[in-house]
Chains A and B, each alone.
Chain A
Amino acid sequence: QKEVEQNSGPLSVPEGAIASLNCTYSDRVSQSFFWYRQYSGKSPELIMSIYSNGDKEDGRFTAQLNKASQYVSLLIRDSQPSDSATYLCAVDDNDYKLSFGAGTTVTVRA
């Protein structure tokens, strides 16, 4: 599997703040990038996908991709206690397979 590195965390932010999650990947030819959210004891849930350089916004989530730097990030604006979870970065390994990072655990303090 290709390497996908995430900032180790845990990340603790106050309610209403911005949580910033970072991910770097090893393979320059990767084309598809994803963020999954995983609540404790649950399976991962896809929350964002991004394929082109730049920003992609969906509600309070913004994904940012920089292929030249092999870097993808996720911003969570106006963080809520319900955002407390582990966030997994995933990168395509080939035409069909994804490699996942180890995850960053986010805790939003009320």
Chain B
Amino acid sequence: GAGVSQSPSNKVTEKGKDVELRCDPISGHTALYWYRQSLGQGLEFLIYFQGNSAPDKSGLPSDRFSAERTGGSVSTLTIQRTQQEDSAVYLCAVGGSGNTIYFGEGSWLTVV
């Protein structure tokens, strides 16, 4: 949705494995976000990228989580040594005018 493509749409992984989630926004969006939504929970901010500025990583829950954005376009969220509590929908979003945020369809992660 909103010109943001996420992959994979669904991922089941074993506890302890690493996973990579990809976000590919249409060109022209300089602001990119990752949010997380656990079952029945609200949206939790993870990280924000804006152009060439240093990212705001203040929402990353632990050092097992990292993200990068290459060339101001594609972003990858990496979760190392996954735990069951990491099971959630990981939503990539792009920023619009007036502080608006538009979400992609999300990557549904299940850690078993």
Contact = CB atoms under 8 A, between A and B. Distances in A.
Contacts of B104: 43
Interface of B is mostly: strand
B98 A96 contact: no
Contacts of A96: 31, 48, 50, 56, 95, 99
In the A-B complex, the 7 residue pairs with the smallest Cβ-Cβ separation, listed nearest first, are: A100-B43, A32-B99, A102-B42, A43-B103, A43-B106, A100-B42, A92-B99
Given A31-B99, A97-B56, A98-B101, 10 more contacts: A42-B105, A43-B1, A43-B89, A45-B1, A46-B102, A96-B50, A96-B56, A97-B45, A101-B42, A102-B42
Interface residues on A, range: 20 to 34
B43 A44 contact: yes
27 contacts: A1-B44, A1-B45, A34-B99, A34-B100, A43-B1, A43-B106, A44-B43, A44-B91, A45-B103, A46-B100, A46-B101, A46-B102, A49-B100, A88-B42, A88-B43, A90-B43, A92-B99, A96-B56, A96-B95, A97-B33, A97-B45, A97-B48, A98-B45, A98-B101, A100-B42, A100-B43, A102-B42
Contacts of B62: none
A45 B101 CA distance: 9
B52 interface: no
